[in-house]
Amino acid sequence: MKKKHTKEFRANHKIIKEAFIKFLKQNKTPPTLDELAKLTGFHFQTVNNHLDELSLEDIAPRFKLMGEEVLTGMVQSAMKGESKSAKLFFKLIYKWNEKQEIDITVKKEYNFSKLNNEELEMFEYLVKKLEK
């Protein structure tokens, strides 16, 4: 909230934020304006005005509490074979990078695209060893 607001506005804003977060935790999806209006007892337009004022900075600290649950869900999804979840897991936990770039000059042309990541790493290791 960038503007200076009345005590009532700040109290209503807090109620709407808390209802939004509670709904999101329970339903794993954000509420609609109508749902928020019903949950808070406020008019649709009141909720809309408050959401216009809501910033990510206002609610981000509360979402950090869900970090462990989100990470657990991601791991469970990866273990079920969801490749996007698996990639994200390896990127976050192991600092894995899909693309390996090797800067090398050779006298003969080679097609490195047929090598897998392990073979590229071995090649890079051997080249670095030769440079020493």
What pLDDT sits at residue 36? Answer: 93
Distance of alpha carbon 5 from alpha carbon 8, whole angstroms = 8
CA distance from start to end of the chain? 58
What pLDDT sits at residue 28? Answer: 82
What pLDDT sits at residue 29? Answer: 82
Give the sign of the dihedral formed by CA 65, CA 79, CA 90, CA 98.
Answer: negative
Instruction: Convert the pLDDT of each residue in 4-49 to its tens digit.
Output: 788 998 899 889 988 988 888 898 888 888 999 999 999 999 998 8
Distance of alpha carbon 72 from alpha carbon 110, whole angstroms = 43
Six token digits for residue 32:
């609609």
Confidence check: pLDDT of 59 > 70: no
What pLDDT sits at residue 1? Answer: 45
CB burial readout 33-48, b (16+ within 10 A) else e: eebbbebbebeeebbe
Six token digits for residue 59:
């609610």
Confidence check: pLDDT of 2 > 60: no
Instruction: Convert the pLDDT of each residue in 73-92 to its tens digit.
Output: 888 888 888 888 888 878 87
Helix axes 44-53, 7-27, angle to 10 degrees: 90
Instruction: Convert the pLDDT of each residue in 88-132 to its tens digit.
Output: 878 877 777 776 565 656 566 667 677 788 887 787 777 777 766
Contacts of 74 (CB under 8 A, 6+ apart): 85, 88, 89
Q: Is residue 37 helix, strand or coil? A: helix
Give me the count of residues in the chain: 132
